[in-house]
Homo-oligomer: A and B are copies of this chain.
Amino acid sequence: MPRVVVDVLLKPEILDPQGQAIERALPRLGFAGISDVRQGKHFELTVDDDVDDVEGLVRKVADTLLANPVIEDFTVDVQS
């Protein structure tokens, strides 16, 4: 059965306070050379074999439930 990965990130123009907090914590923890940190959500789900349009179904689910399309972008990756 296909396993599908959905990654959700805030749109680039939306402020990301979680990512900024991580970026500010890095030098304090001794890590240098990392910038532009963005935090989002990662989902993995299994789709039944009898679904014809796996990517289409998961795109609808992501648009309805997993992401807020007003402020977030998502990617759908169907794996074998």
Binding site for B on A (CB under 8 A): 7-9, 19, 22, 25-26, 29, 31-48, 50-51, 57-58, 60-61, 64-66
Contact A9 B44, beta carbon cutoff 8 Å: yes
* Chain B nearest Cβ from A10, distance in angstroms: 11
A14 to chain B, nearest CB (A): 14
Give A22 to B65 CA distance when docked, in angstroms: 8
8 closest pairs, A vs B, by CB? A42-B42, A33-B48, A40-B42, A36-B46, A37-B45, A33-B51, A38-B44, A7-B42
Give every chain B residue within 8 A of A39 (Cβ-Cβ): 41-43
A45 touches B38 (CB 8 A): yes
